Amino acid sequence: MKSREKAIQILENMKKAIIGKDEELEKVLVCLLAGGHLLIQDVPGVGKTTMVKALAKSINLTYSRIQFTPDLMPSDITGITLYNKAEEKFIFRKGPIFNQIILADEINRTSPKTQSSLLQAMEEGEVSVENTTYVLRKPFMVLATQNPLEYQGTFPLPEAQLDRFLMQISLGYPQQKEEEKIIRNYKNNKTLEHIKPVVNEEDILAMQSEVDEINVHDDILKYIIGIANTSRIHKDIHLGASPRVSIDLYRGAKAYAYIKGRDYVIPDDVKAIVPYVLSHRIILSAEARIEGRKTEKIIDDVLERTYVPVVKSIEG
C-alpha cells in the first residue's frame, strides 16, 4: 500500500486548521478514500466550512462553494444554456458542480427541488442538462453542511437525498483549551494560507484504488448484512438500513482499515463507522420519538444485538 502514508499526511494537514476534532477528521478521510459524500450537521460557527476548505487545499483538487439559499435554482448548480449572438448558437455554461470538491453550504436552506439537483452527480458522477450528459471529473466529492432542523428557514432533506451521503458527522463545540487555540489562530484559519497541498489528483485516485483491494472476509460481509437486518426488525426503528447502507458500510470499513495500516477488515473497523453511516438514514418509530429515545443509543443496541464474527488474520 504505497500511498497509505500520503493519506495520513492529509489527516495531519487538516489538523492544522481544525483543532481537537481528530476522530471527526478521520471520518472525513475515510469518506474521501471510500469515494463517498459527507453530510456535516451542526450549529453555525463550529468550523464546518473551514474543515472542508482545509481538505480542498490539502488535496489540491478543483473546488467550489455553493451557498444554498431559498431562491437558489437547479441551474445555478448544474449550469445554464445561453445563446451566443456572435456565434449564432447556444452554449452551455457549466455550473459549480463541475468541480471535484463541492462544498454545499447550508444545503437544507433551499427547496427540495434544488436539493435534488445534486442527486445524479452524487450517485452516478454525471450531470444531464437538456438531453446531454456530462461526466464529472474524478475524484468527485460533495461535502454538505446543514443546520439542525429546528432552526428557522430550513427544509428537511428527503430520504433519497440523505441516502446519497455515505456518512454524517457533527463537530460539536470545542473544549476550553481547544477554543483558546482556535481564538489565537483565527487569522490563519480565516485565510488558511498555512495549509499547503500534500497530495494531488493522481495520489487520491491511487489511494482509492488501493482501498478497493482491501480484503473483506465472508464472515465480515455477513456481519455487515447482519447489522442492516437487525436495524430493519428493531422495534424502535420504522425504516431500517437499505442495501445501499450495507454497501457503504462495506466501502467505509475498507477505507478505515486502510488508514489503520491493515490490508483486511476486522469487526472493529465496521463498528467504528456504523454510527456515522446509519445515523442519518434510519427513521425512528413514532413511539421511540415520543419517548425521546436517541438515535445513537438505538444504533448501539443494534450493534449489541448483532452477532460479531471472530475472524483471524486474513492478510494476503
Supply the CATH number for residue 93's domain.
3.40.50.300
Q: What's the alpha-carbon Rg for the chain, to the nearest Å? A: 20
User: Is the CA virtual torsion 283, 287, 292, 296 positive or negative?
Assistant: negative
What confidence score (pLDDT) does residue 185 get?
77
φ and ψ at residue 308, rounded to 5 degrees: -100, 120
Q: Alpha carbon 239 to chain centroid distance?
A: 21
| CATH code for position 235 | 1.10.8.80
In a domain, 313, yes or no: no
| Calpha distance 150→148 (Å, rounded) | 6
The pLDDT value given to residue 313: 55
Same domain? 246 vs 101: no
200, 218: one domain = no
The pLDDT value recorded for residue 2 is 67
| Domain membership flag for residue 221 | yes
Whether residues 124 and 224 fall in one domain: no
Q: Based on the domain organization, do 27 and 111 belong to the same domain? A: yes
**Residue 191's pLDDT is what?**
73
b/e code 260-277 from CB counts within 10 Å (16+ = b) = eebbbbbbebbbbbbbbb
Last residue of a domain, one of 174, 204, 234: 204
pLDDT by 10s per residue, the chain, length 316: 567 889 999 999 999 888 889 999 999 999 999 999 999 988 777 788 889 999 999 999 999 999 998 889 999 999 988 888 887 788 889 999 999 999 999 888 888 888 888 888 999 999 988 888 999 999 999 999 987 755 566 777 878 888 999 999 998 888 888 888 888 877 766 778 888 999 999 999 999 999 999 999 999 999 999 999 999 999 999 999 999 999 999 999 999 999 999 999 999 999 999 999 999 999 999 999 999 999 999 999 999 999 999 876 554 4
**23 in any annotated domain:** yes
The confidence score (pLDDT) of residue 312 equals 64
Judge if 138 and 284 occupy the same domain. no
Predicted local confidence at residue 315, as pLDDT = 47
Cell numbers for 249: 458500510
Provide the domain limits for residue 298: 214-305
One-letter amino acid identity for 221?
L
Mark whether 197 and 224 lie in a shared domain.
no
Both 138 and 43 in one domain: the answer is yes
Q: Are 68 and 135 contained in the same domain?
A: yes
Number of domains in the chain: 2
Domain boundary among the residues 141, 171, 204 is at: 204
Is 314 a domain residue? no
Domain assignment present for 179 = yes
Cα 137 from Cα 269, distance rounded (Å): 30
pLDDT reported for residue 12: 92
pTM: 0.90
- Among the candidates 148, 180, 204, a domain finishes at 204
